[in-house]
């Protein structure tokens, strides 16, 4: 998608803005953007998506040098493995940076709710 088209989306949606920022900051050789949202602590499903798109390998290590992964928020809440999802994102951020890739986790409304002390959607398993 052209940057001018992404720029027009940026004013209308957070996802459009995230993709625009990801492509604007892409280094030479970074050609693919994968956007994933609303993981909600569902670690096995999140890992499955990342493996099927080739972002990570069977050992859950960064595998795609030319990719920008944008996690567009809501990695937490509702599911039982929010912490593990955040740990994986932090691991991928570091690994991607070493391989000319990029992992960009964004805050969604559920992360902001937790920061503000609103825990109504947090799973007891997270504690």
Cβ-based neighbour number of residue 11 at 10 Å:
9
In b/e form, how buried is each residue of 19-44, taking b as 16+ CB within 10 angstroms?
A: bbbbbeeeeeebeebbebbebbbbbe
Query: Which residue is catalytic, options 75, 88, 110, 111?
Result: 110
Nearest to 32 by CA among 59, 57, 63: 63
Residue 40 annotated as catalytic: no
* Residues involved in catalysis: 110
């Amino acid at each position: 998608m052209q940057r001018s088209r992404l720029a027009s989306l940026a004013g209308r949606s957070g996802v459009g803005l995230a993709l625009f920022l990801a492509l604007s900051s892409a280094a030479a050789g970074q050609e693919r953007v994968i956007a994933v949202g609303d993981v909600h602590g569902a670690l096995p499903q999140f890992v499955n998506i990342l493996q099927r798109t080739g972002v990570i390998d069977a050992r859950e290590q960064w595998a795609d040098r030319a990719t920008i992964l944008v996690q567009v928020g809501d990695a937490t809440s509702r599911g039982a493995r929010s912490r593990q999802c955040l740990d994986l994102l932090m691991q991928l951020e570091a690994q991607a940076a070493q391989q000319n890739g990029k992992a960009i986790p964004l805050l969604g409304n559920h992360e902001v709710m937790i920061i503000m002390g609103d825990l109504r959607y947090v799973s007891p398993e997270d504690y």
